[in-house]
Structure 1
C-alpha cells in the first residue's frame, strides 16, 4: 500500500501532537508533510480558503476547537462558505482538544494520580475542558505535574509553565484513541473520517 501524503494545520503544539498520534494510531500509511501552526484559530480561519485550494494537490487535515461556537457544522459553514475539497479533512474538537485527552479517562487519571471517577464520561458536554483539566491537576498527588500544569497562585497566567509539554508527553506515551473515542463523539467522528479517508487525484 502506497503512502498517503497529508499536511496538518492546527492552532498550537498540543493540537499538532494529538493529530500526529491520531494518524499514527489509525494504522493508515499516512506520510506527514508540512504543519501550518500559529497560536489560536485566527490564522486557520483566515487561511482556510487557501488551504482548501492547496488540498487539491496534497491533502490537508485541519483541527480547531469548537470553543464558543454553536456546533462543528456552524464552524465549517462560517469558515468555508464554498465547496470543501474532498482532500480537506476539517475536524472540530468539542469543546477543546483537552477534552480528547480527558476522554481516555483511565490513562489520564493514572497520569495525574487521581480517581477515574473525577473525570466525566461524556466529556464533549463539558463547557470548559481546559479549566476541568487544571482543576483535576490541582488534586494530583504528583507535585511535578501540579507545578507544571496549574498556574502559579496569584499569577495572571491561565496555564502552568509546562502545560503543553506535560500534556504532549501524555499524548505521546499514554493516550490511546481507541479508548478515548468511547467518551468523545467528536473524537470518534474525527477518527472515522481519518480511517476512511481516500485522497482524490
Structure 2
C-alpha cells in the first residue's frame, strides 16, 4: 500500500518507518516531506490534505506545549472541531505525538533502558504526561554506561546545539533494531491511538467519514 509521509524532523521519519513496518499492513513508503519543523508542516497541511484525495498520507506532528490534541487540530485545520471530519480527507492519517516524538521512542521502556544501559524503573510509565520528553531523554542518556551512546546523543560542552552530533542516527538505529511498537503502546496513549488507526486503515476514494479525533 503506497503511502507518503510528512514529518517535523528526521527522528519522526525513523519512528514512522518503524511503526509502519511493524504494522504488517504492507505499507510502501514513497516520498517523505517536511523535516523542517512544525511550522513548515502546518503551512503545507492544506496541500497534503488535497493530495490525499488521490493517495494515502501520514502526517505526524508534536503536541508540544498545547493543552490538548483538539486544540491543535482546530488550529492546523482552521475549523471548529465539529467540522474536522468533513475537512480532513479520509486518506490523510493525521497523528499527534504527546508531547514529542521522543515520548513514543522511550515508551518501549524495557528496550530503551537496555539500549542506554540503565534501570527500566528510570523510564516513566506514562509517557504522554511527560512535559519535556526530549529533555528527559537527554537526562537519561547522560546516565548511560555506553560512552558512544552518550557521545552521539548529548551535546558537547560549549556547543550551542541542544542535541548530540548523531542524535537522530543513534535513535534511528534503536528504532529499527530494538523498538517494539506494541510494547510502546502500553505506555503512550497517543501512540496506541495512532497504532489502532494504522491497523484499521483502508484507503478509500469516497468522501470523509472519519469521526471526531480519538
Q: TM-score, normalised by structure 2?
A: 0.90
| 1:167 alignment partner in structure 2 | 171
Q: Which of 21, 30, 43 is residue 24 of structure 1 equivalent to?
A: 21
Structure 2 residue aligned with 1:136? 140
Check if 1:74 corresponds to 2:67: no
5+ residue gaps in structure 1?
Answer: none
Moved over 4 A (4+): none
Aligned CA-pair RMSD: 0.9
Cα deviation digits, residues 153-196 of structure 1 (max 9, x gap): 23222111111110000001100101000000000000001111
**1:65 matches 2:65:** no
1:180 aligns with one of 184, 192, 202? 184
SS in 2 for 1:183: coil
Cα distance in 2 for partners of 1:61, 1:135 equals 30
Equivalent residues, number: 198
Residue matched to 2:103: 99
Structure 2 distance, partners of 1:142, 1:75, is 38
Give the drift of 1:8: 0.5
Residue 31 of structure 2 is aligned to residue 34 of structure 1: yes
Partner of 2:118: 114
Which deviates more from structure 2 when the two are superposed, residues 78-87 or residues 115-124? 78-87
Q: Distance in 2 between matches of 1:140 and 1:100?
A: 19
TM-score by length of 1: 0.96
